[in-house]
Chains A and B, each alone.
Chain A
């Protein structure tokens, strides 16, 4: 097809007609200092906090510190072309990022520009990156469950839509895997996921995006990335940009899951910027407003009231600890802001319990309301089983004679731990979770050898798919446990067959 030049020129003419030749009156300042990602400028007396400023060369910045005769500016993007003596102009706007349906499936940077090489993002909607969180009357208490597909999370620390659940642990304990698995499990759940990677290695992000793509999760996911090679302001702004993209969907009545991976790196970037801008350092050299940095971000996650469309934004912030120290500054801050935490222990991880969730210290403050009834019934005693097992475990290592009750507790505990183990990227549907936990808590598993449990679980779910799909459907649709006797007899029937086949294979050996 040949390009119609006439059409194009008439289009341009039309646009030029709209161009108004107006004298512009701007307020400018002069750059007096340029440093790593920041600048200071004289003048700009009427500049407002967080206002977008434009440098001479076209680079943008955000006013952060407003002092008596200086303005501290965070530079967005390239700062190697900015020189001392350059002019900075006020724009009267605040920073915005593109939002909308077109963002889904894309990998963008903190400014919303695509970095996946798939061309420009075709959207004309934008949202300011900082916006006030929903107030008291705009919210509703969390009641719908968000299924992570992880047995240990859904059973022990259930997460509801609109909740903020912190994932915390040392390096290499599987924090990101929990978040990615949760995203994978949102397939066909009418959820939009946003994965904000802050300071993650570019190669890791690449691998994560590939995982998401392979499992078909990129169809409903936006990835916002700010790599470690980018200037600190990008790392600082990335979570807010992600939150703005999520808010757009939330206020349109949709459900959003947003993962901030991880906030300790964002705090480090913010510390760098603040120190360069000469904000007085406080504990661990973080500036005084580092708490507000995270609280204003996490408060934007909410379950909206029905008047506002009933949308929700669930946040899964991730914080990395050093040597399990949760009493460091950033972990304590974020723990106090969130509605609970999933604590990952490196000891458990190395002993093969994966996901390495520490049941004793992990809690969910609102999730209980959001658990389906069936799950509540089967998982009720789980936490108790686990904690008494952990308590007895060390005691039993001495090998002394144990009474029957203690032995039973230990056996149950060992099986519980085994059932909660789950390989990465293999989420389990909620009805299947209920099924295996039912078998566990009603004592059917006590007769099965610990090493056979994995096999038992897969065969059990296959057996139910083939012979009792109605029972599974009841759990899925109604959320309640089916008739207990019927359910029990079905599980019992399978267990006996399983045990019989096991003893057969033993004898043939």
Chain B
């Protein structure tokens, strides 16, 4: 059976992480992968170009060269390997899995906070400290989303856990209690 992209991402990132650990360049790799992910996300056609059949291999190699020139030696080798194995469409998954692994080792969580208004510095750091305590971690990477449809309150998502304190949710709860009882 064909491997899912997530499975591919897990395997490649594990290998890369172990090599990077030996070479003591984990942080460097992390930065590289994050920027690589950004490039991919900003240019959705890149994944198709590198993994598809629409352009020739030599053309692809050219694109790959420009892509990997900015990175360190290990990253360059890694990209070549991924390219040779025809897994260039899994770069985002590899990066995600790598970040996850890094976070796990260093006690970092990625948290998404949804609010109706933009949070200022003080509010953000306050939230961070609350999350740190609640999930007992060392560091929180906060991603802020502004969404007016939740009317008010905050929704915090950490991994698979969602702490929902939005006004919309309360309205829905009230709706449910009234509907069930009548």
Interface, chain A (partner B; CB < 8 A): 12, 15-16, 18-19, 21, 23-29, 42-45, 69, 87, 89, 278
B11 within 8 A of A: no
User: In the bound complex, what is the Cα–Cα distance between A174 and B132 (angstroms)?
Assistant: 68
Q: Is B178 touching A27 in the complex (CB atoms < 8 A)? A: no
A21 (CB) vs chain B CBs: closest residue: B170
B163 (CB) vs chain A CBs: closest residue: A25
Q: Is B160 touching A23 in the complex (CB atoms < 8 A)? A: no
State the Cβ distance, A72 to closest chain B Cβ, in Å: 13
A22 (CB) vs chain B CBs: closest residue: B173
Contact of B163 among A23, A43, A89, A278 (CB under 8 A): A23
Residues of B within 8 A of A16 (CB): 174, 177-178
Number of A-B contacts (CB under 8 A): 43
| Interface size in chain B (residues, C-beta < 8 A) | 18
User: In the bound complex, what is the Cα–Cα distance between A164 and B107 (angstroms)?
Assistant: 58
Contact of B177 among A19, A25, A26, A45 (CB under 8 A): A19
B162 within 8 A of A: yes
Given A19-B173, A21-B170, A24-B169, are A12 and B162 also a contact pair (CB < 8 Å)?
Answer: no
Given A21-B170, A42-B6, A69-B6, are A27 and B177 also a contact pair (CB < 8 Å)?
Answer: no
Contact of B160 among A12, A18, A21, A29 (CB under 8 A): A29
Q: Is A26 touching B6 in the complex (CB atoms < 8 A)? A: no
State the Cβ distance, A11 to closest chain B Cβ, in Å: 8
Q: Is A43 touching B177 in the complex (CB atoms < 8 A)? A: no
B164 within 8 A of A: yes
Most chain B CB within a 10 A radius of its CB, from A24, A42, A89: A24
- Contact pattern, B 2-44, Cβ under 8 Å of A = 1, otherwise 0: 0000110000000000000000000000000000000000000
Residues of A within 8 A of B177 (CB): 15-16, 18-19
Q: Is B162 touching A25 in the complex (CB atoms < 8 A)? A: yes
B165 within 8 A of A: yes
Q: Is A24 touching B160 in the complex (CB atoms < 8 A)? A: no
Given A15-B181, A18-B177, A69-B6, are A28 and B170 also a contact pair (CB < 8 Å)?
Answer: no
Interface, chain B (partner A; CB < 8 A): 1, 6-7, 157, 159-165, 169-170, 173-174, 177-178, 181
Residues of B within 8 A of A42 (CB): 6
User: In the bound complex, what is the Cα–Cα distance between A19 and B175 (angstroms)?
Assistant: 10
Q: Is A28 touching B178 in the complex (CB atoms < 8 A)? A: no
B164 (CB) vs chain A CBs: closest residue: A24
Q: Is A26 touching B173 in the complex (CB atoms < 8 A)? A: no
Q: Is B164 touching A23 in the complex (CB atoms < 8 A)? A: yes
Most chain B CB within a 10 A radius of its CB, from A16, A23, A27, A29: A23
Residues of A within 8 A of B1 (CB): 278
A68 (CB) vs chain B CBs: closest residue: B7
User: In the bound complex, what is the Cα–Cα distance between A502 and B23 (angstroms)?
Assistant: 110
Residues of A within 8 A of B170 (CB): 21
Further contacts, 16 of them, CB under 8 A, given A24-B164, A28-B157: A12-B178, A23-B164, A23-B165, A24-B163, A25-B164, A26-B162, A27-B160, A27-B161, A27-B162, A28-B160, A28-B161, A29-B160, A43-B160, A45-B160, A69-B6, A69-B7
Closest 7 CB pairs of A and B: A43-B160, A26-B162, A27-B160, A28-B162, A24-B164, A23-B165, A25-B163
User: In the bound complex, what is the Cα–Cα distance between A16 and B181 (angstroms)?
Assistant: 11
A29 (CB) vs chain B CBs: closest residue: B160
State the Cβ distance, A415 to closest chain B Cβ, in Å: 63
Can you list 21 pairs linking A and B with CB atoms under 8 Å apart? A12-B178, A15-B177, A15-B178, A15-B181, A16-B177, A18-B177, A19-B177, A21-B170, A23-B163, A23-B165, A24-B164, A24-B169, A25-B161, A25-B163, A25-B164, A26-B161, A26-B162, A28-B161, A43-B159, A45-B160, A278-B1
State the Cβ distance, A193 to closest chain B Cβ, in Å: 30
User: In the bound complex, what is the Cα–Cα distance between A9 and B177 (angstroms)?
Assistant: 15
State the Cβ distance, A429 to closest chain B Cβ, in Å: 47
A47 (CB) vs chain B CBs: closest residue: B160
Q: Is A19 touching B160 in the complex (CB atoms < 8 A)? A: no
B165 (CB) vs chain A CBs: closest residue: A23
Residues of A within 8 A of B7 (CB): 69
User: In the bound complex, what is the Cα–Cα distance between A42 and B6 (angstroms)?
Assistant: 10
A12 (CB) vs chain B CBs: closest residue: B178
A26 (CB) vs chain B CBs: closest residue: B162
